Amino acid sequence: MRSNGRNSDQLRPVTLTANVNKYAEGSVFIQVGDTKVMCTATVEERVPPFMKGQGKGWVTAEYSMLPRATHSRNQRESARGKLTGRTMEIQRLIGRALRSVVDLPALGERTITLDCDVIQADGGTRTTSITGAFVAMAMAMNKLSQQNKLSTFPITDFLASVSVGVVNGTPVLDLNYDEDSKAKVDMNVVMTGAGKFVELQGTGEDSPFDREELNQLISLGELGIQEMISHQKEILGPIADKITQRSAGVKA
């Protein structure tokens, strides 16, 4: 039994609130336990220089934490004058993960930027960001679709992420901060609706892990991600159907 009385394969309460920003093309406020992330999607009718003239779109992400999202206050990266390695790593991960389910030519020469701002952090901020950003991105794609700017819906499958880890010798799903800080193994899993891996990042700095543990962690991850995706489907409603159809078409 874990702190908060959760089972090892149990997620914290998940809440997704849509349209929380009056300007963004897509926005969602995601809460997973006490981790709270504001995700907005911005559509711009241009692509970065390295993508120009290819007839394809681009999806990118930025991640940040408010200074007091954590137990003690963190210096702002704007005041430091540069991003930390941790931030760069996370925002590269979010962007890469989202692009894996986007048909970039179908998006056209546009950029969708997902801003994931952590309002409060209690473990799993990067996985929560991916899960929330997917929803904001889908809403933005839907808006483009409603404006008749897209001939094909560009999202090819659902995508969500959870963290798993070995805490007190037991593989568990969705670690909060307390669990994370004493975990021997820490793994982030990103999967599609079809159950395929997009990212798998496991670290055993404090204690290497064997294949048996790896298999258990991955199974927990699959479980948690399917539950996350059902939350996404609920909030997305009819937009979810577009993804399901596109997903089926790809597989057909």
Q: If binding is defined by CB under 8 A, does position 250 make contact with its own copies? A: no
Q: Choose one: 125-133, 146-154, 197-205, 232-240; the region binding its own copies (CB under 8 A).
A: 197-205
Which of 4, 7, 54, 88 lies at the binding interface for its own copies (CB under 8 A)? 88
Question: CA-CA-CA-CA torsion for 179, 181, 183, 189, nearest 10 degrees?
Answer: 80
**How many residues of this chain bind its own copies (CB under 8 A)?**
68
| Stretch in the footprint of its own copies (CB under 8 A) among 10-18, 60-68, 123-131, 228-236 | 60-68
Q: Which residue number, 7 or 48, has a Cβ lying nearer to its own copies?
A: 48
As measured in angstroms, the least distance from the Cβ of 206 to its own copies is: 7
Q: Count the Cβ atoms, other than its own, within 10 Å of residue 241.
A: 12
Structure tokens belonging to residue 207? 């204690």
Nearer to its own copies, 92 or 241 (CB): 92
The bridge status of strand 111-120 relative to strand 58-65 is: parallel
154: nearest Cα among 114, 196, 104, 112: 104
Burial 166-188 (b: 16+ CB within 10 A, else e): bbeeebbbbbbbebeeebbbbbb
Q: Which is nearer to its own copies, 11 or 97 (CB)?
A: 97
Q: Which is nearer to its own copies, 88 or 234 (CB)?
A: 88
Which position among 15, 17, 46, 89 is part of the footprint of its own copies (CB under 8 A)?
89
Are 193 and 159 spatial neighbours (Cβ–Cβ below 8 Å)? yes
Which residue is listed with tokens 């991955």?
218
How far from the centroid of its chain's Cα atoms is residue 96's Cα? 10
Q: What is the Cα–Cα distance from 21 to 28, expressed in whole angstroms?
A: 8
Pairing of strands 159-167, 58-65: unpaired
Question: Per the annotation, does 86 bind a ligand?
Answer: yes
Residue 70: CB minimum distance to its own copies, A: 6
CA-based nearest residue to 58, from 8, 4, 105 = 105
Q: Is residue 182 a contact residue for its own copies (CB under 8 A)?
A: no
Applying CB under 8 A, among 46, 196, 234, 248 the residue interacting with its own copies is: 196
**124 assigned to a ligand binding site:** yes
Among 197, 223, 233, 242, binds its own copies (CB under 8 A): 197
| Interacting residues with its own copies (CB under 8 A) | 21-24, 27, 34, 38, 40, 42, 44, 62, 64, 66-73, 76-89, 91-92, 96-97, 99-100, 113, 115, 117, 119-120, 122, 187, 191-192, 194-206, 208-211, 214, 218
Annotated binding-site members for phosphate: 86, 124-126
